[in-house]
Structure 1
Amino acid sequence: MSALCRLVHGGLLSRSAGRLLPARQLGTPPTVRTASSSSAVNLTYDVFDGKGESTPLVFLHGLFGSKSNFHSIAKSLVQRTGRKVLTVDARNHGNSPHNPVLTYEAMSNDLKHLLGQLHIEKCVLIGHSMGGKTAMTTALTQPSLVERLVVVDISPAQSPTRTNFRYYIQAMQDMKISTDIPRSTARRMAEDQLRSLVKEHSVRQFLLTNLVEQNGHYSWRVNLEAIAAHLEEIMSFPSFNTVYEGPTLFLGGASSAYISSEDYPEIQRLFPCADIQYIPDASHWIHADKPLDFISSISSFLQS
Structure 2
Amino acid sequence: MPVELHYREAGAPVLPTLILLHGLFGSSANWMGIVKRLEKQFHLIVPDSRNHGRSPHTTEMDYPLMAGDLLALMDRLHLDTAHLLGHSMGGKVAMWLALNMSDRVEKLVVADIAPVTYPDHFQPILQVMSGLDLEGLAGRRAADALLSGSVPSLEVRQYLLQNLVKIGNHWQWRLNLSGLQDAMPELLGFPDVTAAQFPGAALFIHGGSSDYVSSDSRAVIKTLFPYARMRQLAGAGHWLYAEQPDAFSRQVTLFLSNR
TM range (shorter): over 0.9
**Among residues 136, 140, 143, which one is paired with 1:190 in the alignment?**
143
Q: Which residue of 2 aligns with 1:109?
A: 68
- Give the distance between the partners of 2:151 and 2:247, measured in 1 at CA: 28
Q: Which residue of 1 aligns with 2:121?
A: 164
Q: Which residue of 1 aligns with 2:81?
A: 122
- Residue 147 of structure 1 aligns to a residue whose secondary structure is strand
Pair 1:275 & 2:229 matched: yes
Q: Is the 8 A contact 1:178 1:186 kept in 2?
A: no
Q: Which residue of 1 aligns with 2:93?
A: 134
Q: Which residue of 2 aligns with 1:46?
A: 8
- Residue 139 of structure 2 aligns to a residue whose secondary structure is helix
Q: Which residue of 1 aligns with 2:215?
A: 261
Pair 1:212 & 2:169 matched: no
- Give the distance between the partners of 1:216 and 1:139, measured in 2 at CA: 43
- Give the distance between the partners of 1:49 and 1:55, measured in 2 at CA: 9
The unaligned stretches of length 5 or more in structure 2 are none
- Give the distance between the partners of 1:40 and 1:163, measured in 2 at CA: 27
- Give the distance between the partners of 2:240 and 2:128, measured in 1 at CA: 24
Identity across the alignment (%): 37
| Residue 163 (structure 1) shift | 4.9
Pair 1:229 & 2:182 matched: yes
Q: Is the 8 A contact 1:49 1:78 kept in 2?
A: yes
- Give the distance between the partners of 2:77 and 2:220, measured in 1 at CA: 33
Q: Which residue of 2 aligns with 1:176?
A: 133
- Residue 49 of structure 2 aligns to a residue whose secondary structure is coil
Residues 123-182 of structure 1, C-alpha deviation per residue, up to 9 Å, x if partnerless? Answer: 01000000000000111111111000001000012x31x353112101101101343x6x
- Residue 230 of structure 1 aligns to a residue whose secondary structure is helix
The unaligned stretches of length 5 or more in structure 1 are 1-38
RMSD (Å), alpha carbons = 1.2
* Matching residue's letter, 1:205: Q
Aligned residues: 257
**Among residues 236, 243, 246, which one is paired with 1:289 in the alignment?**
243
Residues 204-258 of structure 1, C-alpha deviation per residue, up to 9 Å, x if partnerless? Answer: 0010000011221111110010110111210111111111111100110110011
- Residue 94 of structure 1 aligns to a residue whose secondary structure is coil
- Give the distance between the partners of 1:163 and 1:114, measured in 2 at CA: 30
> Which has the larger Rg?
1
- Give the distance between the partners of 2:102 and 2:83, measured in 1 at CA: 11
| Residue 55 (structure 1) shift | 2.4
- Give the distance between the partners of 1:54 and 1:191, measured in 2 at CA: 41
- Give the distance between the partners of 1:116 and 1:140, measured in 2 at CA: 19
- Give the distance between the partners of 2:35 and 2:227, measured in 1 at CA: 25
Q: Which residue of 2 aligns with 1:93?
A: 52
Q: Is the 8 A contact 1:171 1:193 kept in 2?
A: no
- Give the distance between the partners of 2:122 and 2:87, measured in 1 at CA: 16
- Residue 66 of structure 2 aligns to a residue whose secondary structure is helix
- Residue 276 of structure 1 aligns to a residue whose secondary structure is strand
Displacement over 4 Å in runs of 4+? none
Residues 26-65 of structure 1, C-alpha deviation per residue, up to 9 Å, x if partnerless? Answer: xxxxxxxxxxxxx0000000110226x3420100000000
**Among residues 74, 77, 89, which one is paired with 2:35 in the alignment?**
74
